[in-house]
């Protein structure tokens, strides 16, 4: 049994592709379209390394774990993976990072980097939420905790990730009141 999958990944139309039943989204990304930036951590939906963004028609993003969600859930959807955040030139070279990527980089937030795609996606969604609905400055730490609390990092102990997101929120116009 197979299913036909068609979706948009990082603004690129993908498919239709015949995909076997039972294939998880992360397996589709890795084995069918060779996008391996989304990382496999636990395969059980716990560590959140595998999260991607699913964008609706209003541009509102949902953060979804790809290791526990079948590819069919994403059929017809628009998704963003870690490969889609930075800007590239015509040679395919990365020329500019997203604000979240830049913040993590300059705060030395990660070491091995395996958990980084999940943190980038979750934090990007958070910033987009705050852009729509700013919060008071004294609520910043709390919203970061709420957003990132389930992401597992084994190298840098979370501190530099959280500090990076906090700095970014406080220094980006329109995210706080």
Partner 1 sequence: MEPSTTSRRNFIKQCVIGGVAVYSAPLLWEMSRANAAMVSPELAAQWQTQVNGQFKPKFRNDGIAKVTGQKVYGRDYRAMDMQGWPKQQGYAFILRTTDAAHIYQGFSLDHLPASAKPYKVITAADLVRDNITLPEFYGDNMLLSEGKTADYLGQAVAILLFDNFPAFKQAKSLLQFDANLLQFGEKTAFVSESKDPYATWRLIRVEGENGAREDIYSPLHDGLFFPSVKDRKPEWLSNPNAQGSVSERGIFYAGEIDKQITDAKANQQWQVLEREYRTQIIEPMMMEPEAFNGWFDAASQTFHTVVTSQSPQDFQEMAVHMLSSGPLAGKVKHLVVHSPYIGGGFGAKDHSIFPYYGVLTAMYAKGPIRLANDRFEQFQSGLKRHPFIMKSRLAVDKSTLKIQALTSQMTIDGGGRVNFTPSVASVGATAMQSIYYTPRNDITATAYASRNPDAGSVRGYGTLQSMTAMECMIHEIADELKVDPFKLRAANVMESGQRNTQGAIPNGTLRYREMLDMAEQDSVWQNRVASKKDYETKHPGMRYGVGFAIATKDYGTGAAAPSAVIRLSKEGKIALDIGFIEMGTGTQTSQAVLVSDALGNFADEVRLAEVDIWKAMQLVQTDNPYIISQQRQDEMAANPRWTPVKAMASSASMSAYYQSHVTRIAAELIYRHGLWPAAVSIWNELYFNTPMGSTNLHNSRDGRWVDGKLTALGFPPLSIDIIAKRAHDMGLVVGVMGHAFNRWAWAEADFDILGTKERLALDALALQYGEASPTFATTFNPKDRQASMTSNGYHLIDRQAISYPKAELNNAMVTYYAPCATLVEVAINEGNGEVTLLSAHTWLEAGKVIVKELVEGQIQGGLAMGIGHALHEGLPPFEDGAGNGTWNLNRYQVSLARHVGVWKQRHTILPQLSDTDPTRGIAEVVMIPVVAALIEAVYQATQVRFYELPMTAKKIKEAMA
Contact set with partner 1 (CB under 8 A): 2, 20, 22-23, 27, 30-32, 34-44, 46-47, 49, 81-83, 85-86, 89, 91-97, 101, 104-108, 110-117, 120, 141, 145, 148-162
CB 79 within 8 A of CB 9: yes
Q: Which is nearer to partner 1, 22 or 58 (CB)?
A: 22
Q: Which is nearer to partner 1, 132 or 154 (CB)?
A: 154
Q: Which is nearer to partner 1, 32 or 172 (CB)?
A: 32
CB of 128 to partner 1, least distance (A): 18
Beta bridge partners of 8: 13, 78
CB of 60 to partner 1, least distance (A): 23
Q: How far apart are CA 31 and CA 34, in angstroms?
A: 6
CB of 140 to partner 1, least distance (A): 11
Taking the CA of residue 96 as centre, how many other CA atoms within 13 Å lie in the half-sphere pointing to its CB? 5
In the structure encoding, which two tokens stand for residue 53, read together?
């963004």
CB of 64 to partner 1, least distance (A): 16
Residue 143 CA, chain-centre distance (Å), reads 17
> Which among 137, 32, 12, 18 is positioned nearest to 81, based on CA atoms?
12
Percent of the chain as helix, strand, coil, to the nearest 5: 35, 20, 40
Q: Which is nearer to partner 1, 13 or 96 (CB)?
A: 96
In the structure encoding, which two tokens stand for residue 51, read together?
């999260």
Sign of CA dihedral 13, 15, 21, 26: negative
CB of 11 to partner 1, least distance (A): 15
Q: Which is nearer to partner 1, 121 or 130 (CB)?
A: 121
């Amino acid at each position: 049994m197979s299913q036909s999958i068609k979706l948009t990944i990082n603004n690129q139309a993908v498919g239709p592709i015949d995909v076997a039943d039972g294939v998880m989204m992360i397996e589709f990304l890795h084995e069918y379209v060779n996008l391996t930036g989304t990382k496999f951590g636990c395969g059980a939906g716990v560590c959140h390394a595998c999260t991607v963004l699913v964008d609706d028609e209003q541009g509102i993003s949902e953060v979804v774990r790809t290791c526990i969600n079948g590819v069919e859930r994403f059929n017809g959807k628009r998704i963003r993976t870690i490969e889609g955040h930075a800007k590239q030139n015509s040679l395919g070279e990365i020329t500019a990072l997203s604000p979240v990527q830049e913040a993590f980089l300059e705060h030395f937030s990660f070491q091995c980097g395996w958990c980084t795609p999940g943190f980038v996606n979750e934090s990007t969604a958070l910033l987009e939420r705050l852009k729509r609905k700013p919060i008071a400055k004294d609520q910043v730490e709390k919203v970061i905790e709420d957003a990132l609390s389930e992401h597992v990092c084994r190298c840098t102990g979370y501190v530099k990730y959280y500090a990076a997101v906090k700095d970014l929120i406080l220094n980006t116009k329109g995210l706080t009141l």
